[in-house]
C-alpha cells in the first residue's frame, strides 16, 4: 500500500544516510547508547517491521538531529541529510510509523506462528484451525487500527 511504502522508504533513506557515513553512524550510536536502529532479519518484511519498531522506541533520534553535534558533522550539509533530518522531525512520519506498526504487528505475529518461530503449548506446532483463527483475529485488529477509515480511503 502506498502509505506504508512511503513510511518504509523514508525510514530506509534515513538509516542508509546514517549508516552510510562514519561520522553520522558514530553520532547515532552515541545518542542511542550503542543500540542499533537497523534490525536485519531473514525476510524484508520482518527487517522493515523491526527497524520501524526500533526507530519508534528511540526518541533519541529526534534529539540527535536537533543537537549542535549533528549540525557540525561534515556529512550533514547534503540534500540527503536535509531529507533525513526533516523525516525524523516530521510529526506525520511518526504518526505513519505508529499506524504502520499497529497494522502490521498482528500480521507479523501470524507469520511468526506459521513460520514456526512461535509454538503453542511449549513445543506443539499450531494446527491449521488455530492458525486460521489467529488470522481472523489479526484481520479484525488491522481493521480496528484504521478505525472508522476504510482501508482505501487515505491510501
Residue 36 has pLDDT above 80, yes or no: yes
pLDDT in tens, 93-144: 999 999 899 888 888 888 878 776 655 556 667 778 888 888 899 889 888 8
Q: Which three cell numbers stand for residue 84?
A: 533525513
> Is residue 93 one of the residues assigned to a domain?
yes
Within 10 angstroms of residue 54's Cβ, the number of other Cβ atoms is: 18
In a domain, 152, yes or no: no
Structural domain harbouring 81? 2-146
Backbone angles phi, psi at 19, to 5 degrees: -85, -10
Q: Examine residue 73 and state whether it is found in any structural domain, yes or no.
A: yes
Q: What is the tally of structural domains in the chain?
A: 1
> Is 153 a domain residue?
no
Tens digit of pLDDT for each residue in 2-31? 888 999 999 999 999 989 888 889 989 999
- Residue 154 domain flag: no
pLDDT number for residue 107:
84
Nearest to 101 by CA among 142, 139, 60: 142
Q: Report d(CA 23, CA 14) in Å as an integer.
A: 14
Considering the domain boundaries, does residue 21 fall inside one?
A: yes
Q: What is the mean pLDDT of the chain?
A: 82
User: Is residue 53 domain-resident?
Assistant: yes
Beta bridge partners of 120: 124
- Contacting residues for 133 by C-beta, under 8 A, at least 6 apart: none
Q: What is the pTM of this model?
A: 0.75
DSSP, res 120: B
Are the C-beta atoms of residues 43 and 79 closer than 8 Å to each other?
no
Amino acid at each position: 500500500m502506498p502509505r506504508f511504502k512511503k513510511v518504509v522508504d523514508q525510514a530506509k533513506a534515513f538509516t542508509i544516510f546514517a549508516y552510510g557515513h562514519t561520522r553520522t553512524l558514530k553520532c547515532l550510536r552515541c545518542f542511542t547508547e550503542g543500540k542499533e536502529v537497523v534490525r536485519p532479519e531473514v525476510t524484508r518484511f520482518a527487517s522493515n517491521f523491526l527497524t520501524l519498531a526500533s526507530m519508534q522506541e528511540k526518541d533519541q533520534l529526534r534529539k540527535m538531529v536537533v543537537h549542535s553535534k549533528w549540525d557540525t558533522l561534515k556529512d550533514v550539509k547534503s540534500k540527503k541529510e536535509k531529507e533525513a533530518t526533516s523525516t525524523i522531525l516530521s510529526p506525520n512520519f511518526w504518526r505513519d510509523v505508529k499506524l504502520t506498526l499497529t497494522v502490521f504487528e498482528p500480521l507479523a505475529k501470524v507469520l511468526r506462528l506459521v513460520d514456526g518461530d512461535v509454538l503453542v503449548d511449549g513445543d506443539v506446532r499450531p494446527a491449521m484451525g488455530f492458525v486460521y483463527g489467529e488470522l481472523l483475529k489479526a484481520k479484525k485488529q488491522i481493521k480496528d487500527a484504521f478505525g472508522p477509515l476504510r482501508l482505501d480511503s487515505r491510501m
